[in-house]
Structure 1
């Protein structure tokens, strides 16, 4: 229920049209009953509303032929709350429909239902679908993987097409939802591929880049040609928020297929114990004037400046006015729909700074109380450009005690430096960062967070240079490795195509295949994400980091195609020690609660600084007090080139992580230094550019 008088006053003040009608029902869109179909659409400014009902798509008729057939025009009735209603008897499965509002000045248009749950190819029309008929086998038994606390999560950001499109994936359903249902795949050396690789890695959640219906990929011309760069996008261009993207389905022309295959993907991941996070983009839409929002209620869904022009805090032409009550209702209805109908386990909010704090808090409360307390919620606490939302923006600090997390760009920058340039951070060799690193390691509780579950720790995601490319750039290797370079007009330097540029690049030129872990770029990458995976908070790694994935220096690959973005699975065999290290650290984190404390008080009591100097940080966690099987734990990050000797508390110490290797039992044992090569003093030598973790037991 929406009950916010202050918010309503804001709507009346900010909207160019005076709208007081607010609908509290949960049945906007199409509802099906026994031999009955009910249509409801909110448009309080329309003078008339008609339903346009088109024949269903069939295999016998093309869409063009059907569009020429006579459609039915049915008048809808106003219910007095701004909602237009029409009840029609009969079975209308798979019929297509549109709404036609007519306004007081006589103008009229047609709009797709913003609450549509199914659409035709490229989202041109809504389709009447009974979701019960789209369940794959066993769907009713599907269950969310257990997640007791947000800090127990280990997230893995992934693009659906990137996951499977490369030939080395061994996957049949390349670029599709169904790729996640293929199991038992291995490379020639016997290493797991695809979804089995994700399970072996040990992540708890796959964070999928946008999978709702987006605008800029032509669903009628999608293919699995790795060299076709003309029809690729990340999906941050929303078209229909409540429908799965069709280009990832085996048949984009069949409304039910994309839904069924999306559910099959969810079920397959759940069966592997992996939850699914949806990357959602409620802050803007692809189009403004042509959007269903604007067509149905002109001027209401988008923020404007005082002069009536549209604001552009997203940098894409518009920003959705989330603070207005019916916009807020739409967003909450939408996330609940995905969580309840598709069993989605969490949501990442793009440019969450452009979503008002009240909406984020209400959304979080409803999902946690009415759906599941285990649903993860987090987002980017910034906008792309200036927004009139101003004080109500969801920025770092506004999440305190509200049940959602924010991306910790402070920690990110401390670890790696800037995002696209050669600026350095702790892991990439910059001095003077250890104190700031300590702030991030403590879960940002002395920065902006009330609890560690409010900080999302990461070094790179899809935006900007990925980890391998960023580290290489800080070393001045981008030209040596042949990374893509661009002219001021955006054209490639020295190459006629992206394919040519990629073919000339050699991102791993300096990596000795017989000593992968000895390479400096490799070591700095492992140190960067090693910090993320051992710090307090919620860790996220980008897909392919565990394979040393490169995007050839492309800092914005959203339209660069598969030749840049595809995950090259043959790198698992080539860089297996890297994968083993990531897997080891993830399992270490999941097995030991000391690395995922839940409260500010626990961190302040049980995590203490041991040693700090240029390029080095060492700290201890009181494991037993934190209900860990390890009594005391020491973690040391050495970002300098030199081996450093670190004093240790007296006792018997087992080394679990050292020099790119992980063994949760013990790589070796030290007792006051007597059983190691370090003499009588209780010290340990930590090799340059590496992380060491030790523990003692009773």
Structure 2
């Protein structure tokens, strides 16, 4: 039944959709109705725009129409009508292109305040109002022909974690669109010494995936004051399905951020690089004023026994992925980023807050589109979530989530030292005790007969079914970057030793069977001046100084050749647990701070028959017994050359201090 509200509210073209009985009271959140079909909240045509909002406990819902993305008052207020499945709808029969809108929900006689909805696809400056635009018009030229680069196996992935500002904002980057999405579309950018920066640097380095720190619309940076250089990593979700305006060239124009994000993805794809989006569905920036809370109070968050908000994120709230509408929302959001923006992978922040079933449903939905889209996350939470531990997507439960990976803090902390003490070192500092945890990481967190899990830090059992479910890394945006951590844990470290240990650390990462991951700038030995948590430090702390590519050219070349070595030799990326158990054999060593393994019998079809890899963090030469034979050296003394650096003969070889040795038959 349709109503014309001309006589009532003076809106000449408002058409109200189906009218059904008033809202219901629900005994628990589990009994809330689930909206079938898409959660789309705005469907535009030049003749009529339909608005809908899932707000099952609302007394009333109003649609507010605005001329601009900020400032001024609504020029029309349109009542909405409650229909099926707790969804309120209204159609406005006029051309609304270029207008902005919000919803205002009344619950228990209280108006909750304006919200762009939970599912806005375009917004004005600072994301307070949703925008009505033509999404098709945001497609860059040739977008319909954009294809994700080929990926034969997840074992072939090399992840490069990047923050937009860090990567290009420094004057030494040579980039025009500094700190913007468009920075990654500029070819030919150079540092002051004419060395490649920007996207050409990524191509030169050889990474396969760029992992972008949160790039959706987040709340902590005021898009109207970008000249203030306010910085944040972006783990402050506001609108999950819109690119952030601070990385666009015009945050006031809703179409610009969308088009420029797509141009960035398109440029990376043309360069042969896939794009991973860091997604933060586990919490929102604020709670009472969030879009979720202003739409269906309480529903989208977990609560403690006393009714207060649970805080598994450590940020004031934790979302309830286990509730059907939150689960549905997450799945649709991921699929939207794939469909609209051609995203190739997702990194889930504090994945351990989400439930296993939701993560598996996301994997299942993504597989229907493209099973090569990679999904991984942090297998932990900041505090214990309010949900049964055995049902959470924690690292220990990764074996229950085939096709989803998690970061290995076992390998990370075995190399650099514990996450809760920046001053304490581990293997890289020459301290004993981390060798078994390194072995755990080298095999990819799978079951292996030579790994004594009782001696592994954090995990006393393998948690991965396949090695591609483990992310191998030594540092990321969180905590200190590698250079700072080495300086902090080895106070008297010399520049020479710093370089040696930096190379040693990454050699472990890239010769392990997990999926390797590096933090942007590590390849040029970036530092953050010792800042442990730089999430809102200024550019002077976070920006990569691209002159370091000149001064640390030797380190960059080592990383580049290390990546090439992994790409060229499938023994380092078998991607199958049975193959790893069959072909990867740890060699016996005398004493501590020495770990060695053999990749035998043309592992994974490799052209090299036997490969020996050894890591020595002692400050003295180490001896290692190996099978007899003639070996070609490809890595020694901080130099890598697949063509060969010389010849060694078994049954005993020497590994120089604080370095890696790789030899093959």
The answer to whether the superposition gives a TM-score over 0.5 is yes
1:418 aligns to what? 418
Q: Distance in 2 between matches of 1:399 and 1:86?
A: 44
Deviation track 1:6-49 (CA, whole Å, cap 9, x = no partner) reads xxxxxx99985574311121142212346332222111111222
- Candidates 529, 552, 558, aligned match of 2:506: 529
The 3-state SS of whatever aligns with 2:311 is: coil
What is the rounded CA distance, in whole Å, between the counterparts of 2:27 and 2:510 in structure 1?
Answer: 45
Query: Of the candidates 117, 126, 140, which is equivalent to residue 122 of structure 1?
Result: 126
Distance 1:108 1:164 in 2: 40
1:197 equivalent in structure 2: 201
Match of 1:50 among 52, 62, 73: 62
The answer to whether 1:139 aligns with 2:154 is no
Where do 1:301-316 residues align within 5 Å?
Answer: 301-316=300-315
1:216 to partner: Cα distance:
0.8
Counterpart of 2:480 in structure 1 is 465
Equivalences for 1:70-81 in 2 at 5 Å?
71-81=75-85
- When residues 663 and 623 of structure 1 are mapped into structure 2, their CA distance, relative to the original with a 3 A threshold, is farther
1:471 is displaced (CA, Å) by: 0.7
Alignment pair present for 1:30 and 2:42: yes
In the alignment, which residue of structure 2 is the partner of 1:676?
none
Give the structure 1 partner of residue 404 of structure 2. Answer: 404
CA distance in 2, matches of 1:290, 1:542: 34
Which of 591, 611, 624 is 1:646 aligned to?
624
Partner of 1:266: 265
Offset of residue 131 of structure 1: 1.2
What is the distance in 2 between the residues matched to 1:239 and 1:30?
18
The residue aligned with 1:450 is 465
One of 560, 575, 578 as aligned partner of 1:598: 575
C-alpha separation in 2, matches of 1:477 and 1:244: 44
Moved more, 681-690 or 301-310: 681-690
CA displacement, residues 73-104 of structure 1 (integer Å, 9 cap, x when unaligned): 22223222111122333432221011122235
Corresponding residue SS for 1:210: coil
Partners of 1:458 and 1:147 lie apart in 2 by 21
Provide the secondary structure at the position in 2 that maps to 1:348. Answer: strand
Matches within 5 A, 1:293-442: 293-369=292-368, 371-391=369-389, 392-400=391-399, 401-419=401-419, 420-442=421-443
Answering whether residue 664 of structure 2 is matched by residue 695 of structure 1, we say: yes
Deviations 1:599-635 (A, max 9, x none): 1111100111123341111111125241112121111
Aligned residue in 1 for 2:164: 160
- Give the conservation status (yes or no) of the 8 Å contact 1:16–1:300: no
User: Are 1:686 and 2:651 matched, yes or no?
Assistant: no
Distance 1:575 1:18 in 2: 57
Give the Cα–Cα distance (whole angstroms) in 2 for the partners of residues 383 and 14 of structure 1: 30
Return the TM-score normalized by structure 2.
0.91
Q: Secondary structure at the match of 1:399?
A: helix
Deviation per residue, 1:419-449 (Å, 9 max, x gap): 3422222122111322221121111103211
Greater mean alpha carbon deviation, residues 45-54 or residues 212-221:
45-54
Taking a change above 3 Å as real, the CA distance of residues 123 and 404 of structure 1, as seen in their structure-2 partners, is: same
Residue of structure 2 in register with 1:502 after alignment? none
Partner in structure 1 of residue 220 of structure 2 = 216
Match for residue 526 of structure 2 among 539, 549, 567: 549
**Structure 1: 5+ residue stretches without partners:** 1-11, 58-62, 479-509, 512-518, 674-680
Following the alignment from structure 1 to structure 2, what is the Cα–Cα distance between the partners of residues 208 and 477? 34
SS at match of 2:604: coil
**In structure 2, C-alpha distance between the alignment counterparts of 1:280 and 1:657, rounded to whole Å:** 37
- Cα 1:353–1:13 shift into 2, 3 Å: farther
**C-alpha displacement of 1:291:** 0.7
Paired with 2:436 and 2:176, the residues of 1 have a C-alpha distance of 49
Q: Compute the TM-score of the two structures, normalised by the length of structure 1.
A: 0.87
Deviations 1:140-190 (A, max 9, x none): 111111112212101011100111111100111111111111101223443
Sort the Cα spacing of 1:552 and 1:104 in 2 relative to 1 into closer, same or farther, 3 A: closer
Q: CA–CA distance in 2 between the matches of 1:268 and 1:209?
A: 18
Give the Cα–Cα distance (whole angstroms) in 2 for the partners of residues 682 and 46 of structure 1: 77
Take 1:158 and 1:611, find their aligned partners in 2: how far apart are those partners?
A: 38
Write the distance in 1 (CA, Å) between the matches of 2:397 and 2:165. Answer: 34
Residues in 2 aligned to 1:659 and 1:187: alpha-carbon distance in whole angstroms: 28
Equivalent position SS for 1:432: coil
> Which whole-Å deviations, capped at 9, do the CAs of 1:567-617 have from their partners, x for residues lacking one?
000000111000000000111111111111121111100111123341111
Quick check: 2:378–2:406 contact (8 Å CA) kept in 1?
A: yes
What SS does structure 1 have at the residue aligned with 2:188? Answer: coil
417-426 vs 254-263, greater mean Cα deviation: 417-426
CA distance in 2 between counterparts of 1:27 and 1:649 reads: 62
**Contact kept? 1:16, 1:299, Cα under 8 Å:** no
Distance in 2, matches of 1:522 and 1:163, equals 22
Q: CA deviation at 1:651?
A: 2.6
Tell me how far 1:56 sits from its aligned partner. 5.0
Contact 1:15 1:300 in 2 (8 A): no
Q: Which residue of 1 aligns with 2:52?
A: 40
Residue 644 of structure 2, aligned match among 661, 666, 679: 666
Q: After the TM superposition, which of the residue ranges 213-222 and 627-636 deviates more from structure 2?
A: 627-636
Q: Does the CA contact (< 8 Å) of 1:636 and 1:691 recur in 2?
A: yes
Match of 1:567 in 2: 544
**How many Å separate the matches in 2 of 1:595 and 1:87?**
58
2:113 match: secondary structure: coil
What does residue 633 of structure 2 align with?
655
Distance (Å, rounded) in 1 between the aligned partners of 2:374 and 2:611:
28
- Structure 2: stretches of 5+ with no match in the other structure: 1-23, 448-461
Secondary structure of the structure 1 residue equivalent to 2:653: strand
| CA deviation map 1:37-76 (0-9, x unaligned) | 222211111122221122256xxxxx43xx24x5112222
Counterpart secondary structure, 1:336: helix
